């Protein structure tokens, strides 16, 4: 499986406006909703909030991967957002998150699907050069081309 099988260019935002974690979560949930991936933004938001309370999804290296399994999700999707300034995500290394990947998986088909997606992302995001390139993209097409390498 490739990451780009779970997304399209409409789920890529290279200029997130939010200055807080909540604002960024709202922006990304809106993208997922517009793509038809959600039955209920409110229910999916609650799932994401619950997961964040269990522990920050800020994994360090300027990366956050908020994720949730929910009945409010119609099909597995991943949204990507780039924050030019960074957002406090209570990351393990204290760094603001700039690369945000939101994973949405239907509860029924969940199984280990979200774990496979997380693993796929984590492996590629350990590559410092890849993260640097992603931080420097200037267009959605550039970002999508890089994201197509994940998987």
Q: Using alpha carbons, select from 12, 21, 150, 10 the residue that is nearest to residue 86.
A: 21
Write the CATH number for 26. 3.40.930.10
pLDDT digits (tens, 9 = 90+) for 47-71: 999 999 999 999 999 999 999 999 9
* pLDDT score recorded for residue 73: 96
Structural domain contains residue 69:
yes
Using DSSP, how many helices (H) and how many strands (E) does the chain show? Answer: 5, 6
pLDDT digits (tens, 9 = 90+) for 89-124: 999 999 999 999 999 999 876 567 778 888 999 999
Handedness of CA 21, 104, 57, 98 (dihedral sign): negative
Domain with 91 in it: 3-144
Structural domain contains residue 119:
yes
Please report which residue ranges of 8-147 form alpha helices under DSSP H. 21-34, 41-54, 113-125, 128-135, 140-147
Structural domain contains residue 113:
yes
């Amino acid at each position: 499986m490739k990451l780009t099988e779970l997304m399209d260019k409409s789920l890529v935002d290279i200029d997130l406006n939010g200055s807080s974690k909540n604002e960024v979560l709202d922006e990304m949930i809106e993208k997922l909703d517009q793509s038809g991936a959600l039955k209920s933004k409110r229910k999916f938001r609650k799932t994401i909030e619950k997961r964040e309370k269990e522990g920050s999804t800020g994994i360090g290296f300027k990366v956050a991967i908020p994720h949730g399994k929910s009945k409010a999700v119609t099909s597995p999707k991943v949204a990507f957002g780039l924050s030019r300034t960074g957002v406090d995500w209570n990351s393990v290394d204290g760094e603001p998150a700039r690369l945000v990947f939101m994973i949405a998986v239907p509860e029924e088909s969940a199984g280990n699907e979200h774990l496979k997606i997380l693993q796929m992302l984590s492996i590629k995001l350990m590559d410092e050069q890849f993260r640097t390139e992603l931080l420097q993209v200037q267009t959605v097409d550039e970002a999508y081309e890089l994201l197509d390498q994940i998987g």
